[in-house]
């Protein structure tokens, strides 16, 4: 009887080390490609697989699972898992895992970088220089907003949110937060818990880091945006679906808020002609929160460790559906 098969349908950093790590427990079907596999090619790999290592772009629903008779584990190379139908996986006894912790600091770097870039209009200024428009110093050229000493409101204070708050402390920002649960040592961390409405009303920068769930879907809509200051900036490094994108576009077009820094969108990639693409007050980047060589390599290795544990009959460290282990 051969070894179990682990299917990795996309390129991963440090692939040789990951494959070597898994080799004692599995044969690895690795596809060294950047783009998504075609549907049939993906299904052909899935049908043979005992384990799947997936990115967030790989949607695993009941339909896909019907073509995966041997599957024992789906190990996301991501902390978010809205691409997985956990109910369908659990019903079939398939373990699901993610990769928390390893990407928190890197994603916080990106979030704070987006805040700085939007506040100080850095991409806009870069384009201004490189397109030959800069002809000399002007008193009102590229005036932005101060970050030092400003008020930052963080919606969703998990690991990444707390890492962002630590960066804000270095800028002596006043940090408000809203979360499902209060943080026990909030005073020591310089954090103030407030309602979502109060956070929106008081913050110079509103930073979204809440997971996408049925409760958070569309949580920032027209009403919430209307509560923000006219010179406030919205930063979203969570998931595109937590914001009503049409309402955000209207708020920006009507100058009811000053700008937005966005790493995530309702539809990815953004379609041609999308309003964000022509808005200078919007800094848009292509879902790169964890995109460093070191972090993506660590994420892939953590996913591999979760996979190896399942194949050995051991409970994986980052199990999302513990019900499958209690059976």
How far is CA 182 from its chain centroid?
Answer: 22
CA distances from 129 to 77, 117, 124, 126, 135 (A): 38, 16, 9, 5, 9
102, 130 Cβ separation under 8 angstroms: no
CA 69 – CA 71 distance, rounded (Å): 6
**Annotated active-site residue in 47, 268, 314, 317:** 268
Please say if 287 is a catalytic residue: yes
Catalytic residue (choose from 121, 167, 202, 287):
287
Exposure string (b/e) for 109-134, b if CB count within 10 Å is 16 or more? bbbbbbbbbbbbbebbeeeeeeeeee
DSSP 242: G
Which one, of 32, 28, 26, lies nearest residue 13 by Cα?
32
The bridge status of strand 205-208 relative to strand 191-193 is unpaired
Characterize 135-156 residue by residue with b for buried, 16 or more Cβ atoms within 10 angstroms of its Cβ, and e for exposed. Answer: eeeeeeeeebbebeebbbbbbb
- Set 167, 239, 245, 296: catalytic member: 239
Cα Rg for the chain, rounded, in angstroms? 22
Catalytic positions are 239, 268, 287
């Amino acid at each position: 009887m051969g070894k179990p098969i682990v299917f990795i349908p996309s390129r991963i950093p440090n692939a040789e080390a990951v494959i070597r790590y898994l080799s004692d427990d599995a044969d690895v079907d690795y596809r060294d490609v950047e783009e998504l596999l075609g549907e049939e090619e993906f299904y052909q790999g899935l049908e043979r697989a005992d384990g799947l290592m997936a990115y967030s772009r790989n949607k695993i629903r009941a339909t896909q699972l019907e073509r995966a008779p041997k599957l024992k584990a789906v190990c996301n190379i991501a902390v978010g898992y809205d691409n997985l139908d956990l109910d369908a996986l659990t019903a079939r006894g398939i373990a699901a895992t993610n990769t928390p912790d390893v990407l928190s600091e890197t994603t916080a770097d990106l979030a704070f970088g987006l805040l700085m870039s939007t506040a100080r209009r850095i991409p806009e200024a870069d384009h201004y220089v490189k397109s030959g428009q800069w002809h000399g110093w002007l008193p009102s050229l590229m005036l932005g907003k101060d970050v030092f000493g400003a008020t930052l409101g963080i919606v969703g204070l998990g690991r990444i949110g707390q890492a962002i708050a630590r960066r804000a402390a270095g800028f002596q920002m006043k940090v408000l937060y809203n979360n499902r649960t209060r943080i026990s040592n909030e005073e020591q961390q310089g954090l103030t818990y407030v309602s979502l409405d109060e956070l929106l009303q008081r913050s110079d920068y509103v930073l979204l880091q809440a997971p996408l769930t049925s409760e958070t879907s569309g949580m920032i809509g027209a009403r919430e945006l209307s509560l923000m200051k006219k010179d406030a900036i919205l930063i979203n490094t969570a998931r595109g679906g937590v914001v009503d994108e049409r309402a955000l576009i209207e708020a920006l077009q009507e100058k009811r808020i000053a700008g937005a820094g966005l790493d995530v969108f309702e539809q990815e990639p953004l379609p041609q002609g999308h309003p964000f693409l022509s808005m200078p007050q919007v800094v848009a980047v292509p879902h790169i929160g964890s995109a460093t060589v070191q972090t993506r390599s660590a994420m892939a290795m953590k996913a591999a460790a979760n996979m190896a544990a399942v194949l050995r009959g051991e409970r994986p460290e980052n199990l999302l559906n513990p019900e499958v282990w209690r059976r």
